[in-house]
Amino acid sequence: MVRRPPLRALLAALLLAPLLNGCLLLSGEQTTIDLLAGAGNLSTTFVSAEGGEERTVQVGKGSAELQAIAVVSLESGDLQIELLQPDGSVAFAIAGRPDTQMTRSGPVRGDASGTVRYRVSARGAHNGSFQIFFQP
C-alpha cells in the first residue's frame, strides 16, 4: 500500500513554493571582500548553488562610476552574475560555462551611498566561483 501525503501538506507546499523563488541556496559558500577607497574585490567559492538572489557590496562613499571585472567558473550547471545600475537596469551580465573561466568587464555605478548591487542566478551549479573586481 502506497501512502500519499495529506492534501493539506500538498496545498501548503504549493502555496509556499513561490516564496522560495527569490532565494539562493549556496552550500559550502566562502566569500571574502577586500575593498580600499572605492576599489577592491569580492570573491565567492561554493560547492553547489541553486536559485537566485540580489546582493550588495559597499564600494565607496558616494555615487561614482566604476570599472567592474567579473570572472565566473564552475564545474557543471549554470551560473550567471548581473551587475546592476542604481535604477535596477543591468549594467552587464556574465554567464559561466562548465569547465571554462569566463571574464567580462564594463562600467557600473554605485548608488548615493556607494553601494553596488549584483544578482546571482544558479541552476544545478557545482564547484564554482565568481569574483568581481572594482576600480575607479
Is there a contact between 112 and 15 (Cβ–Cβ < 8 Å)? no
What pLDDT score does 36 carry? 85
Give the separation between CA 107 and CA 37, rounded to whole angstroms.
Answer: 17
Please work out, in degrees rounded to the nearest 5, the angle formed at the alpha carbon of residue 115 by the alpha carbons of 112 and 120: 140
- Mean pLDDT check: name the lowest of 36-45, 73-82, 93-102: 36-45
Helix, strand, coil percentages, rounded to 5, for the chain: 10, 65, 25
Is the sign of the CA dihedral 18, 94, 42, 118 positive or negative? negative
Grid cell digits, residue 80 = 550567471
What pLDDT score does 6 carry? 58
Range 77-104 average pLDDT: 97
Range 69-98 average pLDDT: 97
What pLDDT score does 20 carry? 45
Domains delineated in the chain = 23-135 (2.60.120)
Position 62 confidence tier, pLDDT thresholds 50, 70, 90: confident
- What integer best gives the mean pLDDT of the chain? 88
Express each pLDDT in 108-123 by its tens digit: 999 999 999 999 999 9
Is there a contact between 134 and 38 (Cβ–Cβ < 8 Å)? yes
Express each pLDDT in 15-59 by its tens digit: 444 444 569 999 999 999 998 877 899 999 999 999 999 999 999
